[in-house]
A and B are shown apart, each in its own frame.
Chain A
Amino acid sequence: MNWLQNISITCFAASYVVVFILEISRVFFDISFRKYVRVGFAAAGLFAHTVFLVLQGKLVLGSTGLWLGSWFGWCLATAWILAIAYIWISARQPKSVIGLFLIPLILGLIGLGVGFGHENEFRSMKAKSTWSMVHGSALLLGTAIVALGFVFGVVYVVQSRRLKHKSPQPKYFRLPSLEWLQKSCEYSLIISTFLLAIGLVSGIAINWTHQADGTLLVGGIIAWSNPVIWSSGILFSWLLLVSIFNFCYQPSRQGRKVAYLVIASFLFLVLELAIVWWVGHATTSPESDVAHQTQIQRSLEERPSAVGRLKL
């Protein structure tokens, strides 16, 4: 299976580009066999994407014990989840051109991943704990679902605006019904809140463990005043509030409002991720490693009980 090793980002990115071109062509003319070609390319892209993540992106715990490897892997894994969602939507809503909105997001994430490159890999020691696995997985899934909700929200606004203004439906530009979009927005909001809550709680658990138990100090303690902590808290609070609001106040889950809420949630998430990236949360670089080790050493000297345990 040597050929699998040769699969590169270009392979699946090119497949998605072809899918995007086919999606654009759907707006202009109709060919009966195009849907098979489109889904075929998407499936081929997804296969290559999966192989790449498994073999190159260190999706699974390998000898280095890296979880998703880096921001590069994180972006690619999010794009991978969205690619699965694209195929699911193609089956559920075969006539709608929702891919026109979703594929650019997938391509954008791949582009972003490539832009980050392999630098800033997530810390290996931290990745080995179960809490870290839960933390990473929940945040990854949550991110992908918020992004998906964003797409549903945007499509809802476009469709609702068109219907409200009685603009004629372009011949081949078909979008899902408002009811379907509204439900999808609602589900994405609820599921993403749940997943991000798990991510946040597990993150807190990791930090707590670090503070209480010296064995994991190599991962580093994050100060509660760290921007990552408070921005994550704000994001989670927002999602929680929106969900509670949604549950208690009926108009907020009707029509366009729920669409606006998921769009706002996505913007919050982008802001949150930007902060995480900016402060270098969960990543190491050669310079920071030295500083890190010094900090750990100092910390160990100050806490004899932890030293004992580490030596064991």
Chain B
Amino acid sequence: MNLQVIGCSHHQSSVATREQLAFTQQQIKPFLNNYYSKFPNSEVVLLSTCNRTEFYTVANKPNSVPGKSELIEFIAEQRGIAATDINSEIFIHQDRQAVEHLFSVASSLDSMVVGEAQILSQVKQAYQLAVETNQTAALIHRVFQSAIRVARRISNETEIHTNRVSVPSVAIGVLAKQIFERLDNKKILILGAGEMAEETLRYAIHEGGKEFTIINRSIENAKELAEKFKGRVGDWSELEKELAAADLVISATGATKAVVTSDQFDRVAEIRKQKPIFILDLAVPRDFEQSISDRLNVYLYTLDDLQKECERNRQSRQSHYPQAQKIIHHEADQFFDEIQRRSSGSTIAQLKRQADDAKQLELDRLMKRLEGVSDKQKSEIEQSFNRLVNKILHPPLKSLQTESPQVSGGLLEALKKLFQLGE
């Protein structure tokens, strides 16, 4: 099997190149169809995410997959760009390297944020689209099914996915859960309607949050966000009242100074009667004065606090990297052994059949010439022929099975040529 991957990723390509090569879901199928028109003897998978665009091409026969320059020309033509513009930023991996790369990508070891869970579903989606385009893509099945299995194994056997690494996920998925048992009965107050507020709110909803109020200086943005998530819009003038009622506050305004001062919070605290409150101040500069965190039953976390936690988790994930890599090497070995067994299996069967046919032919001819041979003697002669064939075939077959895939691949080709075996 000949496998290669050509593409670009956040490791070696600029954002500009990645943007030029990025495909939307709608663009992938037409691209794959065009590919099959031009290179009908190979199979292809196109994986396109915000951090990478990779073309996996695979074929059984040698020289059936297009070369790097040939493929770059084709891609450039499809994207309407000059091949020379992207050539230097494109990487290529072949055979074992390509398999290990795919395993690493699917397991998110190659991701910008190691351990992120999204990439596996993106790989699955790319595989699904490839199969829909070419339903006889047997090699793609073999490679991608293995990649998905390896990704699951790494997820189960290492802790590379366990610790959260993004600020909103740490804030809600880790910290809020240490304060609140559940979020569905909590009042969530969102100050600001920007990207960070939205992302954190998304996590809060994912964790069960239902009742939330959005307050923003620009009421339009607040309304837009509230409509999107079916929340309520609050009035900025009633900030203290809303704070008094809230259990969880997500604050990410673009204000240039604190929007909740210590004095303001004292008034809020009076109404709250020491009811615990978890405040996520994700704004820079901070929205809540630092002294507020000294109040009883107030848990105030700033962006810095959360980023420290994220960094710790990132390091923890990195510590599992060698273990995951070991699994990938082991699985790649297994993958090629399996490929070898499958491809040599048919050749071995063919060789045995050819030898058996020759043996039977000679045996029949001999039996016709011999006269007065008893059944017992006939059986002896037949067994002797069988032993002879087996003894002749045993050494080459044993070498084929015991040698490394690289060596046995060559042997297999030699065997096919020497014994004139078909494909």
**B-contacting residues of A (Cβ < 8 Å)?**
30, 159, 163-164, 166, 168-169, 171, 175-180, 182-183, 250-251, 254-257
Contact = CB atoms under 8 A, between A and B. Distances in A.
A30 B158 CA distance: 11
Contacts of A183: 181
A88 to B, nearest CB: 16
B178 to A, nearest CB: 6
Q: How large is the interface on B (under 10, 10 to 19, 20 to 34, 35 or more residues)?
A: 20 to 34
B299 A180 contact: no
Contacts of A254: 273-276, 297
B181 A251 contact: no
Contacts of A178: 178-180, 276
A255 B180 contact: no
Contacts of B182: 179
Contacts of A255: 274-276, 296-297
B174 interface: yes
Given A168-B312, A179-B180, A179-B182, 6 more contacts: A163-B178, A163-B179, A250-B273, A250-B274, A254-B275, A255-B275
Contact of B273 (A163, A166, A180, A251): A251
Contacts of B116: none
Residue with the greatest number of chain A CB neighbours at <10 A, chosen from B174, B180, B296: B296
A171 B296 contact: no
A166 B178 contact: no
B201 to A, nearest CB: 20
B316 interface: yes
B326 to A, nearest CB: 19
16 contacts: A163-B175, A163-B178, A163-B299, A166-B301, A168-B308, A177-B179, A177-B181, A179-B179, A179-B180, A179-B182, A182-B276, A183-B181, A250-B273, A250-B275, A251-B273, A256-B297
Interface of B: 159, 174-175, 177-182, 273-276, 293, 296-297, 299, 301, 305, 308-309, 312, 316
A246 B283 CA distance: 37
Given A254-B274, A257-B274, A164 B177 contact: no
Contacts of B275: 250, 254-255
Nearest to A249: B273
B150 to A, nearest CB: 20
B309 A168 contact: yes
A256 B312 CA distance: 28
A255 B159 CA distance: 33
Residue with the greatest number of chain B CB neighbours at <10 A, chosen from A166, A169, A250: A166
Nearest to A257: B274
B267 to A, nearest CB: 16
Given A166-B301, A166-B305, A251-B274, A256 B296 contact: yes
A1 to B, nearest CB: 43
Contact of B178 (A30, A169, A257): A169
Given A250-B273, A255-B276, A159 B297 contact: no
B8 to A, nearest CB: 36
Contacts of A168: 308-309, 312
Given A177-B181, A179-B179, A164 B273 contact: no
A30 B308 CA distance: 24
A238 B174 CA distance: 38
Contacts of B309: 168
Contacts of B178: 159, 163, 169, 175, 177-178
Nearest to B247: A179
A164 B292 CA distance: 12
B305 to A, nearest CB: 5
B307 to A, nearest CB: 12
Contact of A164 (B174, B175, B180, B299): B299
A185 to B, nearest CB: 13
A180 B181 CA distance: 6
A255 B178 CA distance: 13
A178 B305 CA distance: 19
Residue with the greatest number of chain A CB neighbours at <10 A, chosen from B179, B293, B301: B179
A89 B162 CA distance: 24
A257 B276 CA distance: 11
Nearest to A162: B178
Contacts of B296: 255-256
Contacts of B159: 30
Residue with the greatest number of chain B CB neighbours at <10 A, chosen from A164, A177, A179: A179
A257 B301 CA distance: 22
Contacts of B297: 254-256
A223 B208 CA distance: 59
The 4 closest A-B pairs by CB, nearest first: A255-B297, A251-B274, A250-B273, A254-B274
A179 B316 contact: no
A159 B181 CA distance: 13
A9 B275 CA distance: 45
A255 B299 CA distance: 11
B399 to A, nearest CB: 43
A194 B174 CA distance: 37
A169 B180 contact: no
